[in-house]
Amino acid sequence: MSLFYKSIDNQLNKINKEHMTGSQEVVGSSPSSMILNRGDVWKYGETSSKNERYSDLYKDNIGDGGVHENPIFYGNQVQIKVAEKEALYRYFLLHGHLPPGNKIFR
């Protein structure tokens, strides 16, 4: 395992030990444009209000057929940020880039 991957693993383990109150499973630089197939991830993120950030019209116009929100984790803000970071790292390690809707690691 490379030093980069060990660093990511250590960072996530440290965050989990400090902030998680139990074990939670998370379903596990992006190209500017790419083909999304049904079921592909467009973006990982958090929201406190489902329809405030992206309008239905905006989501309907992403890709062929649009995208929809699929909540994968519920918790307090710290737990949600940890879950988001884990999901982003897992996606990056599997695909070599971030999901197209994520521009940075948060």
Q: Calculate the alpha carbon distances from 95 to 28, 31, 53, 99 in Å.
A: 12, 11, 26, 9
Q: Over its length of 106 residues, how does the chain's per-residue pLDDT go in tens digits?
A: 676 666 666 666 555 544 443 332 223 344 456 777 778 888 898 877 766 777 888 888 877 778 888 888 888 889 989 999 999 999 999 999 999 888 888 7
Cα distance between residue 97 and residue 92, in whole Å:
5
Classify residue 99 by its DSSP letter. -
Q: Are 21 and 27 in contact (CB under 8 A)?
A: no
Global pTM exceeds 0.95: no
Per DSSP, the three-state class of 75 is coil
